[in-house]
Structure formats: structure tokens, C-alpha cells
A and B are shown apart, each in its own frame.
Chain A
Amino acid sequence: MAFLEETVRGIRKDIVKMIGKAASGHPGGSLSSAEILTLLYFEQMNVDEKNPRKEDRDRFVLSKGHAAPVLYATLAAKGFFPKAELENLRQLGSMLQGHPDMNKVPGVDMSTGSLGQGISVAAGMALAGKMDNKSHKIYALLGDGELQEGLVWEAAMAASHYQLNNLIAFVDNNNLQIDGAICEVMSPFPIDAKFEAFGWNVITVEDGHDFDELRTAVEAAKKSEDKPTVIICQTVKGKCVSFMENNAGWHGKGPNAEEVKQALAELEA
């Protein structure tokens, strides 16, 4: 347990550092989903950093592709590529594009960034797994604002129709999107009842920063017999950086040098 806590702390520090260095990027939604990725890559997923495209690996699709920094920090921590690379986030010629590119970054299973598309692609991956009688899982991470995209629900309908129980989607429910509170911009609520109505197995995680709760949810999701599972996680946007927490203003901007310093001090405390 201490290992996961230490790992996620390091990942958060890397998120803050790389976005600060790039002076652009999306810290809020990266910090809110750090435990989800940490649990997946360091405990739940069958992946091989030495062989990133191993055929029977579990897949992860960052449908909310703007949270690229949390994926990059996690992959680097796992050893898919050197941590030093994180300093090149969003720089010309860098493999670490503003949004993930599967052909540039070892360990990235799908290029994403345009919201709503990742979950649709993940459904296609899950369908392929079913066709070939594979046992690997397809994980996807959606933002709560992303649920406003119609394509999410096209994909949700199909995943249920094809009984893709090998598809496990997380919703990073931090309640904020770039223009403000999701309930004010365009409420996606009730999220659980919507997925239920679409035929999904629905699991709610009250604290999306609690590894035990997340683990219990993933273990249950893996046992779903004929339905895809959505794990709706209550999270805090900007988690663990006081001035970023619950502040939509930190959806998509980089902290300055002073702010980076303060954030790192808080994360090291």
C-alpha cells in the first residue's frame, strides 16, 4: 500500500513539474485521475514495459486525452521510457505531444484527445478481444464533462449490445470542466442511472483517491459476466495541490515557477 501511495506521489510531482516546464497542459484532470492510473499500471494491468505491444496485454485508452501528463508520468514511472523525457512535454519534436500519440510513445495504446472517441475505440478493441476469445481487459478513462459527447452513448449502447464484459471504463467525476461546473455547463447527471439504462454494470467509488476502494471496484468489474462495467469515481480536480483543488481555472493551464515550487512543497509534505 505504501508503495502505491509513494508511486502516486511521485506521479503527481512529475505532472506538476512537466506541465510547469511546458508552461502549458492540463493539471486539474491529470491530478484527479492519478490514483486510477497508478492502480491500473502498478497493480491491475498485465503490461510489459519491455514489450509495450505484447499481443495479449491489457489495454488502456485515455479517452480524456487532455490528461496526457498523468499517463506520461505513469508510463515513465513504470519504465516504458526514461523519466527525463517528461521534460520535453509539448516541445517541438517531442514524443510527448499535448495529447497522446500511440505511434510516438511506448505504452500508449491509442491516440486520443478528441473527446468521446476513446471509449468508442475501446469498444472496438474489446470486440476484437471477444472475437479472438482473449482474456485481456480493455480499460478506458472518461472525463465527466466528456459524457456530454454523443459518441460516448453510441459506444455505450454498442458495448452493452455486444456484451463486452472485457471493457472497464472509469469516469473521473471531478465535477468541473473547462468552462466551469459540469452541472452548470451541461449536466450529465445522473451518470449511474444513464449507464444502467444503457445496460452497463455500474459501480460507484465514493473516493476515487482511495486505492482500496478502487481495487474493490476493479476486482468486481473483472467478474462481470455479460456487461461492460463503468466505475464512477468521485474525485477532486487538482487533487493534492491546494490552490488547484476544485478550481476549473486549473483545467488547462501551466503553473509558473513559483506555483510549481509551492505545489511540489505540498506534495513532499
Chain B
Amino acid sequence: MADKKSTRQAYGEYLVKLGEKNQNLVVLDADLSGATKTNIFKNACPERHFNVGIAEANLMGMAAGLATAGKIPFASTFAIFGAGRAYEIIRNSICYPKLNVKIALTHSGISVGEDGGSHQSIEDIALMRVIPNMTVLSPADAIETEKMMDAAMAIDGPVYIRLGRSDVPVLFDNDYKFEVGKAGLLKSGSDVTLIATGLMVGPALEAAELLKADGVSARVLNMGSIKPIDVDAITEAAINTGAIVTAEEHSIIGGLGSAVAEVLCDVAPAPLERVGVKDLFGQSGKVAPLMEKYGLTANDIVTAAKKAIERK
């Protein structure tokens, strides 16, 4: 079994390295620095870490103000409060003026676990990706988190990075290359393409193995860059495998599944099955049973793949 690490942990640790390289980097948090892991940066660099208290709207507003002065703020809280409560500040004070703010929100999806539905953000990809000027990145593991943070630093404008609470297997090694707007081909296949993001990439790889045992050749794409999305990779998959499954720890409305559906409708129609949370709120529980309850397992992807193939 590969090493496991949460993407939030990778985020907190890598902030320290980025901060050493770039003195303009500042970190803002809203009383969740222990949970978002920005406290790791705080311990290393207290003079560039600001805890604005339980005030997510002001978190985003102040980040915008710092950005106007040449700072590169990373603003962190839970996804539900950042993308939800502070949505319109992100929209009007960060994205509308295209300010250089990195919004790194943790505790996305139902893998938040015990805190339950009030804290499980299943809408943040949808909310962030509809805003002009916004880039939306969703790392699958610790390594991809670091690569995406590098990519975010190279962008002069707002970036949303979607991070998780739970430990996930480290899938990539340090040679892994991430490019904004490009999908990563993790496994070749010809019968169906599994397009996954975030912590669903692991189950998608597992599903490909299960499908292989059933004689189905599944391609696996890691769609870490949700916006811009890799239109070419989706088009190619639609034409050459003829069936698509998306897998995300997010509502099937507005997230990766919708983004892929938009490309298929525009460019290359093909049967699509969307694995994700089905327009429901989450609830308290341990992570594994929650993922099972909400249909977010390798087996769910296998079932969806077979259905998509049948619809060819």
C-alpha cells in the first residue's frame, strides 16, 4: 500500500517551501489554521500569517486588498465557508478585478466525515468554476497538491485549489508533471474512459483493474484541472473509447461531471455516466461507509462504466 497523506497536510507543508522562495507570499486563515494546516506555515513564518478570526467574508476581502499591493495571499478555511459563505466576495472583489489571490479550501466533499452535512461541501467546484477569471484545481494526492501550488504561483490571477481532510494514497512521485488545462493519462484503454478528480482518482484506478478482470479495457484520466478543462483529452476519449464515466466527490450537478458533459455536448457527444453525490446533502459518519452510502466507490464506477458501454 502506498503512503497516505491528506492534501491539506501537503498544502500546509508546501506553503513553507513556497514562502521561503517568495517573500510576497502571505497566508490568511479564519480560525481554522489547525485544521487547514496553515498553522504549519504560521510556525515557520508567523509574520506572514494572519488569522482574521471567524469572518470568511473579510478573509477574502482582506486577501484582495493585500493582492492589490503586490502580495500573493493564500486564503484558507473550509470549502463550505470559503466557497459558500464568502462566494460573492470572491466573485466581486477577487475574480472581477482579477486579483492574484489563491483560495485554498480544505474539508471539501463528504470525506469530512463526522462533522456531517452542514460541513461537507458538495457544491464548491460548481460555485468556483462559473466565475470568470477563476482557475479551478482539484489535486488527487499530496504530490499533485504541491505541483498545483507551483502552477497557481505561476498564474497572475485567482486560483481555487480544492483540498481534502482525509488521508489519501500518494499516487504520484516527484517527477509527476502537472499542467493547467491538461488531463493526466494514468492508464490506457479502449472501451470506456474513466475521468476522475481529487480523491476519486484512486477508486477510478481500482475500478479499471476490476473492469479488466471482466474483460473491459478502461482508460483512466486524472482531471486535476477542472477549469480550464482539457477539451482535447475529453474529445479524444469520446471518439476513441465511445463511453465516458466521471467520478468526483461533489454533487453531480455543476462539478466535473457537468464540465465534461458540457464538452461532450459541444464537441463530441458520447454516453456519459456521472459518479458523484446525487443532489443530496451528506451526513455524519466514518469516511469509508459514507463513500459507500453515497455511491463513491470503485464498484460504483464499475457499474457506471458498464452502463455507459451498454449505451453506446
- Asked if B97 and A158 make an inter-chain contact with CB atoms under 8 angstroms apart, the answer reads no
Q: Which of B48, B52, B61, B71 contacts A117 (CB 8 A)?
A: B61
**Whole-angstrom distance between the alpha carbons of A101 and B55 in the complex?**
25
- Taking CB atoms and an 8 Å cut-off, the chain A residues in 115-141 that contact chain B are 116-117, 119-129, 131-132
Question: Contacts A123-B62, A150-B57, A154-B58 known; A129 to B52 CB distance under 8 Å?
Answer: no
- The B interface is mostly helix, strand or loop, or mixed, namely helix
- Asked if A158 and B62 make an inter-chain contact with CB atoms under 8 angstroms apart, the answer reads yes
Q: Does A114 contact B (CB under 8 A)?
A: yes
- Asked if B92 and A117 make an inter-chain contact with CB atoms under 8 angstroms apart, the answer reads yes
Instruction: Considering the complex, give the chain B residue whose CB is closest to the CB of A55.
Output: B70
**Whole-angstrom distance between the alpha carbons of A201 and B79 in the complex?**
35
Q: Does A234 contact B (CB under 8 A)?
A: no
Q: Does A10 contact B (CB under 8 A)?
A: no
Instruction: Considering the complex, give the chain B residue whose CB is closest to the CB of A104.
Output: B97
Q: Does A113 contact B (CB under 8 A)?
A: yes
Q: Does B167 contact A (CB under 8 A)?
A: no
- Asked if A128 and B65 make an inter-chain contact with CB atoms under 8 angstroms apart, the answer reads yes
Q: Which of A102, A125, A162 contacts B69 (CB 8 A)?
A: A125
Residue-wise, chain B 52-77 has the 8 Å CB interface mask toward A (1 for contact) of 11010110111111111111010000
- Interface residue tally on B, bucketed by range: 20 to 34
Residue-wise, chain A 161-200 has the 8 Å CB interface mask toward B (1 for contact) of 1100000000000000000000000000000000000000
Q: Does A240 contact B (CB under 8 A)?
A: no
Instruction: Considering the complex, give the chain A residue whose CB is closest to the CB of B47.
Output: A131
Question: Contacts A151-B57, A157-B53, A158-B58 known; A121 to B64 CB distance under 8 Å?
Answer: yes
Q: Which of A120, A121, A161 contacts B68 (CB 8 A)?
A: A121
Q: Does B147 contact A (CB under 8 A)?
A: no
Q: Which of B62, B66, B68 contacts A155 (CB 8 A)?
A: B62
**Which of A116, A117, A119 has the most CB atoms of chain B within a 10 A radius of its CB?**
A117
Give every chain A residue within 8 A of B65 (Cβ-Cβ).
110, 120-128
Complex A-B, nearest 8 residue pairs according to Cβ-Cβ distance, in ascending order: A124-B65, A120-B61, A128-B69, A124-B62, A154-B58, A154-B55, A121-B65, A111-B97
A to B CB contacts below 8 Å, 7 in the list: A110-B93, A117-B64, A121-B62, A123-B62, A128-B66, A158-B52, A158-B55
Q: Residues of B with Cβ closer than 8 Å to A?
A: 26, 47-48, 50, 52-53, 55, 57-58, 60-71, 73, 88-89, 92-93, 96-98
